[in-house]
Amino acid sequence: MSSDLVASLRRRYQYTLEQIALAARRVGRPPESVRLVVVTKSQPLEVVQAAIEAGIRCFGENYPEEGVTKIQSLPRQSGVEWHMIGHVQSRKARLVTDHFELLHSLDSLKLAQRLDRFAAERNRVLPVLLELNLGGEASKSGWDASDDSRRNAFLPDVQAILALPNLRVQGLMTMPPLETNPEDARRFFRRLRLLRDHLASIFPQADWRELSMGTSADYPVAVEEGATLVRVGTAIVGARQYKSEKEAS
């Protein structure tokens, strides 16, 4: 393994943690209230191994099969945690319940029911976040919450998901429209937080603590708006290697 790669990952990881801490302090939040998920989609196993060597312990993957291949190639007791952050097709649901600690991107009741069944078979409870589509883009997954008139349309689905015994909802996730200026993403992050507060007032029995929002382009803004999980890829591990991404899908 290249020690240059390890050193550069360690440096960029530390820099990102510092930026998170600065953003948190700007708004009076404790820096440790934010977790950094390092996104390794389309990166080869060697990058993950170097990242572990550099002290990184929490990884995010977009494609269940690609993630599971990496997970199974690492030693069992690697002390590493894997999050699924991409759209999960129904037929890949079992890979998620069998291999991942947290699903950020639950986007339909049908998928929730399938995951619940598989989790029950494995005798586990799968923590999940509900993905909301705040820009109303057809290309994005998640419940449409792009304007106030739709704000309550997904409540029956939420209610049904909260009743599933083997899933545990912990909060919300969003991937806002791509903006050139990170400040332009702020209104989407703020909206996710307000939607969370809205859901918490309707379903106070559930746990709504997590807000998964912010990527390389805008994570400091997301932290200022209340992110508890930021998903950072390219700023730490460099540009994606699109070839393996295609192979995996």
Binding mask 120-159 for ligand PLP (x = CB under 6 A): ----------------------------------------
Amino acid at 207: D
Binding mask 29-58 for ligand PLP (x = CB under 6 A): ----------x-x-----------------
| Interatomic CA distance for residues 82 and 5, integer angstroms | 21
Q: Could you tell me the two tokens for 239?
A: 């540009």
Which range in 72-80, 89-97, 139-147, 233-241 contacts ligand PLP by CB under 6 A? 233-241
Q: Is 244 in the site for ligand PLP (CB under 6 A)?
A: no
Q: Could you tell me the two tokens for 153?
A: 């349309």
Task: Tell me the CA end-to-end span of the chain in Å, nearest whole number.
Answer: 27
Q: Is residue 170 a contact partner of residue 210, using CB atoms and an 8 Å limit? A: yes
Beta bridge partners of 82: 59
Q: How far is the CB of 220 from ligand PLP (least distance, A)?
A: 13
Q: Could you tell me the two tokens for 2?
A: 């290249």
Size of the site for ligand PLP (CB under 6 A): 14
The residue within the footprint of ligand PLP, chosen from 8, 108, 216, 244 (CB under 6 A), is: 216
Q: Is 234 in the site for ligand PLP (CB under 6 A)?
A: yes
Please identify, using beta-carbon distances, which residue of 169 and 222 lies nearer to ligand PLP: 222
Q: How far is the CB of 85 from ligand PLP (least distance, A)?
A: 4
Q: Where are the alpha helices (DSSP H) in 1-106?
A: 3-26, 45-53, 64-73, 93-99
15 contact partners, CB below 8 Å, separation of at least 6: none
Distances (CA, A) of 89 to 30, 43, 107, 164: 36, 21, 10, 19
Within 13 Å, how many C-alpha atoms sit on residue 70's CB side?
A: 30
Q: Is 19 in the site for ligand PLP (CB under 6 A)?
A: no
Please identify, using beta-carbon distances, which residue of 161 and 222 lies nearer to ligand PLP: 222
Which range in 90-98, 146-154, 190-198, 228-236 contacts ligand PLP by CB under 6 A? 228-236
Q: Is residue 131 a contact partner of residue 104, using CB atoms and an 8 Å limit? A: yes
Q: Is 233 in the site for ligand PLP (CB under 6 A)?
A: yes
Residues 160-199 within binding reach of ligand PLP (CB under 6 A):
175
Q: Indicate the residue whose CB is closest to ligand PLP.
A: 233
Three-state SS at 211 = strand
Which residues are at the interface with ligand PLP (CB under 6 A)? 39, 41, 62, 85-86, 175, 215-217, 231-235
